[in-house]
Amino acid sequence: MELIAYYRVSTARQGESGLGLEAQRVKVQQLAADRRAVIVAEFVEVESGRKADRPQLAAALAQARQRGAVVAVAKLDRIARDAELVLRLNREAAANGMGGFLFCDLPDVDATTSAGRLILSVMASVAEFEGRRISERTREALAAAKARGVKLGGLRPGTIRENAAAAAKATAAAEALRPLLVPMVAAGYSLRRMSEALAAAGTVTAKGSPLSASTVRLQLQRLGLN
């Protein structure tokens, strides 16, 4: 099997730094190894998931049609945060002779079947919902910052949105730990003991590492538990 790898990052800064890009590449390479497939080309897009105009995606699809290859993507939302666009691309793939799509986060979904298309439709709708929630949280964070008297004029709008989105994401990650941290705080656990307990529970950072004591302290501060 031949794979055409398609990667997407949302900002130029991510594209230049490789932030997020390398993780996508690792996932696609692992998929290729699991399927005993060969990655014959890679395309990198720097664009928002809501925009349908994707030159690199178009190039990836053209080469996939030419070779009868499969387009491999690390995550469904790397194709788009738009359910209608995802399904349209899948229908076009079936009609134009390419091998279809493989998503590393949905390895068992066969989008060439009616059941697979249904699952893909649901997951694409979830990705679209998550994208809209990120925008909503960004606007809420900006409004809250403005209400606190924070001056936003010194930063470019794109930077402000990125910072607000990062803050919202960090807060959401901390909130996910609240049910674990609250009883440990009540029991008087030390930071080190909390770190060990979280590691034993399988809680890790985005990079797959156990949470250090300093990271636990930061999460406690975000949650107002310190």
Q: Exposure string (b/e) for 183-222, b if CB count within 10 Å is 16 or more?
A: ebeeeebebeebbbbbeeeeeeeeeeeebeeeebeebbeb
Q: Which amino acid is at 147?
A: A
Q: What is the total residue count of the chain?
A: 226
Backbone φ and ψ for 102, nearest 5 degrees, come out as -125, 135
Would you state the structure tokens that stand for residue 96, as one six-digit string? 């134009």
Cα torsion at 220, 221, 224, 226 (round to 10°)? 70
Annotation marks residue 190 as catalytic: no
Catalytic residue IDs: 10
